[in-house]
Amino acid sequence: MFCPKCHHTNPAHQLLCSCCQQPLRLAKLRVVNHAGKEQYFELHGRDFTIGRQADNDLVLAEESVSRYHARLCFSGGVYFVEDLGSTNGLYINGEKVQSRQLVSLDCLQIGAARIYYVLSETVYFAAAGNRVSPPASNSLTSLSARTPAAQRSDAERLFSHVLHHLLQGALHLAQAQRATLWLPDTAGDLIPRLCANEKVTTMDSNAGAARWSPDLAEQQHLALRVYRSGGTIVREQREANERFCERLTSSSDLFYQQLGIPLRVNTETQHGHEAFVSRAPIGALVLECHPISQRLSPTKLACLQNLLEEAGNLVDRVQFITTALKESEAAAFSQTAETDLAIAVQQQLQPIAIPYLAGYDLGCWHHPAETVSGDYLDVVPLLSGEFLLVLGDVAGKGLAAATLINAMQISLHLLLTYENRLEKILAALNRIVHGVGAPSTFTTLFLGVLNPQRRTLHYVNAGHTPGLFIHSSDATPAIEFLHSNSAALGVLETCSVEVKQLRLPPASVLVLFTDGLTEAVNESGEYYGLTRLTERIVTAVLSARQASAAYVLETLREDLTLYSANFDGKVRHHDDQAALVLMVR
């Protein structure tokens, strides 16, 4: 294993570079119980215990398993496993052992469970600068294994960060000093959900009345009028020179000291055989500046209007997800119920719209391993005429992954209405993932801004699998890997990254993918691998003179299916698979 930091060559099963201690690969456990159900754990250089007792990292509730059966120990950059004096012993690949170093694809037999030790195919933290520490947590259970109450708490923290981005964007675009987001509570009363640059006195539910500051009481009156009318109220001076308008217009300058704007959401009503879509208010945003009025140019107004158009539907998604999580916490939370809720949460994601790009061919492919995917694939058009290419992989599966992907997509769409610097966007998303604070919560992410006219791609890679760039000036293709230049999101409290630029000459090809492709395994437990993936893509590009993105993706999909098929012909995908192909004509 080659170290990208010091260029030292390490043994194949080394997780840390023996020379500079740079993290190289991620170790995982794939646990298969007696019923064939699978569970995944990610190891981050800490000890990991297995047994029947509830305080083990992996609990196997079987009589044949001892209370503390075995322990995985991390030492010298590799993992060892040792028997803790169990009654029925520890078996590795069918052989009874007391202690042994683990190598990739070792199979541990403990009770009726089979536990596979696997190492990632690609470099995990390939940031060329500094060593990255793993998440600061002793618990290695996945986020989706947390209790409903903990998941709801995590979701509320996530979406508080999301709403914070909404207020920060409004403050920035409106050049305001204070902003308050007003949303109805369960009783239908409008209350301040989140404020920026203002101290809020919250509702006293026992007294049944609000104890507001004078400013908030005045804001509530304005917010109620905006919410009920569905129109915008502009005050050039407080309580004077007030005017009402249906919506913000960007035809001329706007002067204001107080600005009340409704948040609207698309609603569909059925009249006979026809469906009508209207914009219904779901809350209000109040912006203030003192002591003098603020002037907003038509350009700022247009950006603010775009932010608010996005905000209504996104806030509605936040409310749907948090409400669903609260209901699930109150109800009996079975595995089936969690799966159904995870599906409902993931359905809130905005679908990918593949744009037509003159001179380019863009294609996407996404195949979830289970009902709910942990991969995030998106193509977002920007106001500048550029396009943001997004591909991420959230640690974990199920409800937690669906909630985190929703929070990331909502935040990203809000951020893009007022921020176009990739390093700032990545830092904001990192704060969201890190703010969850749950064990083993991190996300790898590739962000790339495509400028179709200039034929350039500015990108950052936060711990994600390397992108593949194929170009040539003659008949021999040149292959370049777009390696990670930052830690995965959520690992560190802050992240710093250098934005890189890539020129896209004619006949070049960009391929982004998740590790579900390179780490697909065959019947013998061998990885599909980055080398085979690269060879198949190059062959597909060169085999057809007018090869399309769809052709490359279909070729790749068919080869992965053949590779992953068992001897009985059935295909088992152990991880989500997603890919994006951009071909330059």
pLDDT of residue 158: 66
**The last residue of a domain, from among 273, 294, 318:** 318
3: in domain: no
**Cα 4–Cα 8–Cα 13 angle in degrees, nearest 5:** 90
131: in domain: no
529: in domain: yes
- Spell out the long-range contacts of 61-69 with Cβ–Cβ below 8 A and sequence spacing 24 or more: 62/111, 62/112, 62/113, 64/88, 64/111, 64/112, 65/110, 65/111, 65/113, 69/110, 69/111
pLDDT of residue 561: 87
506: in domain: yes
DSSP letter, residue 572 = -
Same domain, 355 and 216: no
- Dig out the tokens for 185 from the structure: 């509570």
Same domain, 453 and 566: yes
Q: What is the amino acid identity at position 479?
A: I
Same domain, 115 and 166: no
pLDDT of residue 4: 58
Scanning the structure block, which residue is given the tokens 């002037």? 295
d(CA 154, CA 318): 13
Q: Are 110 and 60 in contact (CB under 8 A)?
A: yes
When pLDDT is cut at 50, 70 and 90, the band that residue 130 belongs to is very low
Q: At what angle do helices 298-330 and 398-415 cross, to 10 degrees?
A: 170
Same domain, 290 and 435: no
The alpha helices in 13-82, defined as continuous H runs, are none
Same domain, 363 and 490: yes
**The last residue of a domain, from among 110, 125, 140:** 125
Same domain, 358 and 310: no
Same domain, 416 and 358: yes
d(CA 278, CA 146): 39
State in Å, rounded, how far the first CA of the chain is from the last one: 36
d(CA 419, CA 27): 36
Render pLDDT for 369-428 as a digit per residue (tens, 0 to 9).
777 778 899 999 988 899 999 999 987 666 677 777 887 888 888 888 888 899 999 988
d(CA 304, CA 169): 8
pTM listed for this prediction: 0.71
Same domain, 154 and 118: no
pLDDT of residue 7: 66
Kindly tell me if the per-residue pLDDT of 342 is higher than 80. Answer: no
d(CA 75, CA 78): 6
Scanning the structure block, which residue is given the tokens 């009920």? 228
d(CA 327, CA 316): 17
Q: Are 197 and 179 in contact (CB under 8 A)?
A: yes
Q: Taken in order 53, 59, 60, 64, is the CA torsion positive or negative? A: negative
Render pLDDT for 110-129 as a digit per residue (tens, 0 to 9).
988 889 888 765 544 433 33
Q: What percent of the chain has pLDDT over 90?
A: 23
- Dig out the tokens for 534 from the structure: 């690269």
Render pLDDT for 179-203 as a digit per residue (tens, 0 to 9).
888 888 877 888 888 887 744 433 3
Same domain, 461 and 545: yes
Number of domains in the chain: 3
If you average pLDDT over residues 308-320, what whole number do you get? 76
10: in domain: no
Same domain, 107 and 181: no
Q: Which of 268, 264, 252 is nearest to 226 (CA)?
A: 264
Can you tell me whether residue 381 is helix, strand or coil?
Answer: strand
Return phi, psi of residue 10, to 5°: -110, 160
Q: Are 496 and 503 in contact (CB under 8 A)?
A: no
**Cα 315–Cα 166–Cα 364 angle in degrees, nearest 5:** 70
179: in domain: yes
pLDDT of residue 434: 79
If you average pLDDT over residues 23-29, what whole number do you get? 77
CATH number of the domain within which 373 lies? 3.60.40.10
CATH number of the domain within which 260 lies? 3.30.450.40
Residue 174 structural domain: 149-238+256-318
Same domain, 96 and 153: no
Q: How far is CA 149 from the centre of its chain?
A: 21
CATH number of the domain within which 106 lies? 2.60.200.20
d(CA 87, CA 69): 8
Render pLDDT for 297-307 as a digit per residue (tens, 0 to 9).
888 887 887 78
Scanning the structure block, which residue is given the tokens 């997800």? 321
pLDDT averaged over every residue in the chain: 78
Question: Which three-class secondary structure string do you get for 315-344?
Answer: HHHHHHHHHHHHHHHHCCCCHHHHHHHHHH
